Structure 1
């Protein structure tokens, strides 16, 4: 049989055996549910809250003057809150909170300087949102009282506390604006997560598959008819196609969910992590670095997985590889805020970090083309090196049996690869 036919047979077996596995189906379904839920988080929150009376707060005003401005300010800060002036006693108010008629009870009084102070009674103190809004509203009222007591002009006070606007202007030619950075940040953040999880999930899958086949002695049968090098590249390609299938479903589901809820995704998180008008070059770089990053770590995973015969050992032997991608991810998160720092620049040229960190730089900055070309060149050279050394280690490693969790076994695998198989 032609070697390419054997390659596609193993590729097909790897792809469909994992595609039909319960773990893959369950993980994919959970991921899709999570994506849909995240895109519809606002609707889900409203579904559970609705017009429930738990957002009603009772207010006891012992001053007789502060309740009205407090209610107006609190309700303007959060339209879901409804504050009502309560005429009963403190004990009666507490009982209504305990019975669930009110979410909380607020009592207002003044101190010796005739400035407002308040007490907040609730079943538990986990809801910091309301207490923070209460503090903000009372601070505004307190400022107004002090202004009136001292005979100060309220407009002057407002001007004093108005934040100073800062216009950020880049002097470097072709530097990205704040809006462009926000637009790129979302894709960059998404891509570094994608590469991070792809390496961990599918790298482990490759190593585990090799270990499972060796533990069942299936490898001896395969080796007798198929070249170990053909096996390695067929498995890497099969798992890559599996990953594309899973991430393709996730991306399509996420895109459709975002489109359906686009009108509600404004401000806050969605303003900081924008997804609109993303340059085509950034998307192309994302695809390129994703593929190259996968290939690099897939080679390592297959090579390391061939050294062991048990899944438990496979997880242990690929730990250094996992640590590399974790380190790259942590540096990338730092680089989102400081992509031009010398540390980020230096690490972006280290092949094990390049797929994530260099993508952060090309997404957030306008860097010279030669830097991108150099990093890609170094990364591809490293991939070819590990493909060569990995194929030799794989060739000898698949014939090694017994407990083996030490990287010193690489030498033994290389020696065995010189023998005819």
Structure 2
């Protein structure tokens, strides 16, 4: 057992000091601070940019004054300036950069406002804000034609009273569903990224040792089975370290931005049930061990680092498919094929938790999914151990999945007396 812990610590310590891990962690922390302060960055570059829009009013002043008032209440970064020039002169001013665009106002056959906005570029943001302001003006004019008082207009625009009451008493509340939805997104991304990063790292580690012939030395003192699980746990601890650093950076970044912090509070994280957080941790760990074990045995089948990507491609496809089904299920979590996919072990950690978070499915269904994953991990670990034992002794240029059969045959062969002394099979 001492040799197992030595290999685990060695795997963790070696990867922790690599430039790739350090650079990736720095980029991750920088990205977290960037996303937490993205609103400040955007406002710094264009928050104070004032758009100067000339207005060619063909409605004899009927629209311009209320439109300017309405726009000032919505957006103060757009300045409307009434112009007496014709369109030819206005086009020239826009092309010369003196104006950001010009707006032609007029009345239709029903004496309601209409407008045409022209600018040098496709400035859809400014156009949308002008449209919203003009829509408000139109509503005021229609209300005036119908002789509606302000109270009646407010009554007309007030939202309908609609309440959703679940018959199941155990069903999650609206606040809990909002918090669960946010956690589902986090878990989906975490599993997706951890499999692509850390599972591939395990496969690459095995292939590197084989390509450098270090494996021939290792198997003389440490069982290949211990090697496999030492690498899985070592890289897992490495990923946990990076996740802890990311969480700490996220908490620190949120303290510097009260706007983002108040936005997150809208998800009612504090109302999240403890069972939801517990299931998120369980599914994340089970998902990691499932794919990590698969990556370790796939890595033992190749002898060159160049062949890793081809060998782990089927595993990557499984992760991508599970992620895509989960994202679809965010809109239709009760779809039949989503339910079926949640019981397929390679998709269970993402889809089953998504169903629990959004639908509040019974606990026994979640436990069935967890049991399926545990059984799958055990089966995969037993098979992986045998394949790994024979795979680490295979050398060559082939990177086909047919090597699994060869690895099994090598495992079944009786070792020589010398191998029995050196290799604790």
- What RMSD in Å do the two structures reach over aligned CA positions? 2.4
Q: How many residues align?
A: 413
Deviations 1:121-158 (A, max 9, x none): 22210x32221222222233234444545x45366566
Which residue, out of 18, 21, 28, partners 2:18? Answer: 21
1:302 offset after TM fit, Å? 0.3
1:7-406 equivalence runs, <5 A = 7-53=4-50, 55-63=51-59, 64-125=61-122, 127-149=123-145, 151-153=146-148, 159-160=155-156, 162-266=158-262, 270=264, 273-406=267-400
> Structure 1 pair 333/139, CA: closer, same or farther in 2 (3 Å)?
same
Deviations 1:276-314 (A, max 9, x none): 432222111111111111001000000011111222321
> Structure 1 pair 339/42, CA: closer, same or farther in 2 (3 Å)?
same
Deviations 1:22-77 (A, max 9, x none): 22222211111111111111111121124233x34333323222112112222322
Deviations 1:83-116 (A, max 9, x none): 3334555445444444545433222223454433
TM-score normalised over the length of structure 1: 0.90
TM-score normalised over the length of structure 2: 0.89
Contact preservation (8 Å) 1:144, 1:154: no
Task: Give the structure 1 partner of residue 422 of structure 2.
Answer: none
1:390 offset after TM fit, Å? 0.2
Deviations 1:136-186 (A, max 9, x none): 22233234444545x453665665555434222212112112222112211
Contact preservation (8 Å) 2:53, 2:101: yes
For structure 1, the residue ranges without an aligned partner over 5 or more in a row are none
Distance between the aligned counterparts of 1:92 and 1:28, measured in 2?
55
Contact preservation (8 Å) 1:182, 1:271: no
> Structure 1 pair 282/259, CA: closer, same or farther in 2 (3 Å)?
farther
1:382 offset after TM fit, Å? 0.9
